[in-house]
Structure 1
Amino acid sequence: MLHQWYLLTKKKEVYIVVLDMPLLDTKRGGDLMGTFILDIVLQILSFVAQNERENIRCRQAQGIAAAKARGVRFGRPEKPVPPEFEDLKEKVKKGEITCAAAARLCHMPRTTFRWKCMHKP
């Protein structure tokens, strides 16, 4: 954010007016003291925003960990495999049928079929 502010105000010489925060008005702060105050306020606001983002991430991670500890599962519920899945899985392993054909017969994408073949006991 600070880098973008610098590019806009110094390199491109753009005036920025923040309507609900007159301290960040670059039109008025043209003198040395005004520029100094503006830079300090911007530094403080950037710090507060970054600190809040980190706090939010931390609280979110704590909430997710607590939910998982309670047994909450995230994401879509897993669809059950059709009864013929195991037979088709064995046929694919033996080379009697292609993975794509087996997936079609199970009414699932090929990638899902392959994933379930690898992760299903």
Structure 2
Amino acid sequence: MASTMYGYARVSSREQNLDRQLDALRAFGVEDGAVYADKASGKDFERPAWHRLMGELRPGDVLAVKSIDRLGRDYAEILDVWRDVTKARGVFVVVLDMPVLDTREERDGITGVLIADIVLQLLSYVAQIERENIRQRQAEGIAAAKARGVSFGRPRKKRPANYQETREAFWGGRITRKEAAARCNIRTSLKKLGLGPLGAIS
């Protein structure tokens, strides 16, 4: 049975243009009728055209994309889909912007599938390290700012001048919660002012 060449293109929003990807797929030899395109976020694989494409693919077919990030923005998800397409479905994948990600060819006795897997694992590792480095830099920046006396979060509200008197009247049963809130000119729960069971504010 003859194999078919398919293309997949994606942009993240309806305002973005698919033309560059479509032109690249045509230049590679994918016919317009075999191109599936989504205008959807890369955060997951819940995309209508992608699911239709998965229903069409057969072993030996070729799937071309302009760049690896068209499959998604998270390498863990991309790796899962890559394995599903290449191994479970037996479909060849070609990433036009990265010729090394071409599972059709064998180079010096090494299959393109193996080479692509190694490259993707490396890219996934680099992306994970970069995420960890970003988190570490953020944590170090926060720690350094705190050491300089920079405070984070919303500033603590000052107690009203009549706080202690109102608190004693409330706990003494002479006024209700609603009356205590009105005296302190607040709308929030009295627990947040230390008038409720949680105790006094610091």
How does the TM-score come out when normalised to structure 1?
0.72
Farther-moved stretch of structure 1 (74-83 vs 43-52): 74-83
Q: Which residue of 2 aligns with 1:108?
A: 187
Q: Rate the CA distance shift 1:81–1:40 in 2: closer, same or farther, 3 A.
A: same
**1:19 shift after superposition:** 5.2
Q: Which residue of 1 aligns with 2:83?
A: 6
Farther-moved stretch of structure 1 (15-24 vs 54-63): 15-24
Map 1:1-121 → 2, pairs under 5 A = 1=76, 2-7=79-84, 9-11=86-88, 18=95, 20-24=97-101, 28-31=102-105, 33-105=111-183, 106-110=185-189, 113-117=190-194, 118-121=199-202
Instruction: Name the CA distance, whole Å, in 2 between partners of 1:109 and 1:65.
Output: 31
**1:77 shift after superposition:** 2.1
Instruction: Name the CA distance, whole Å, in 1 between partners of 2:82 and 2:200.
Output: 50
**1:13 shift after superposition:** 6.5
2:100 is paired with a residue whose SS is helix
Instruction: Name the CA distance, whole Å, in 1 between partners of 2:144 and 2:126.
Output: 27
How does the TM-score come out when normalised to structure 2?
0.47
**1:58 shift after superposition:** 1.1
Q: Percent identity?
A: 47
Q: Alignment RMSD, CA only?
A: 2.9
User: Would the aligned equivalents of 1:99 and 1:114 in 2 still touch at CA under 8 Å?
Assistant: no
Amino acid corresponding to residue 157 of structure 2 in structure 1: K
Q: How many residues align?
A: 116
Amino acid corresponding to residue 30 of structure 1 in structure 2: R
**1:4 shift after superposition:** 4.4
Where structure 1 has 5 or more consecutive residues not aligned to the other structure, the ranges are none
Instruction: Name the CA distance, whole Å, in 1 between partners of 2:134 and 2:127.
Output: 11
Answer 1 or 2: which has greater helix percent: 1
Answer 1 or 2: which has greater strand percent: 2
Instruction: Name the CA distance, whole Å, in 2 between partners of 1:97 and 1:12.
Output: 73
Where structure 2 has 5 or more consecutive residues not aligned to the other structure, the ranges are 1-75
Q: Which residue of 1 aligns with 2:35?
A: none
Q: Rate the CA distance shift 1:87–1:53 in 2: closer, same or farther, 3 A.
A: same
Q: Rate the CA distance shift 1:102–1:62 in 2: closer, same or farther, 3 A.
A: same
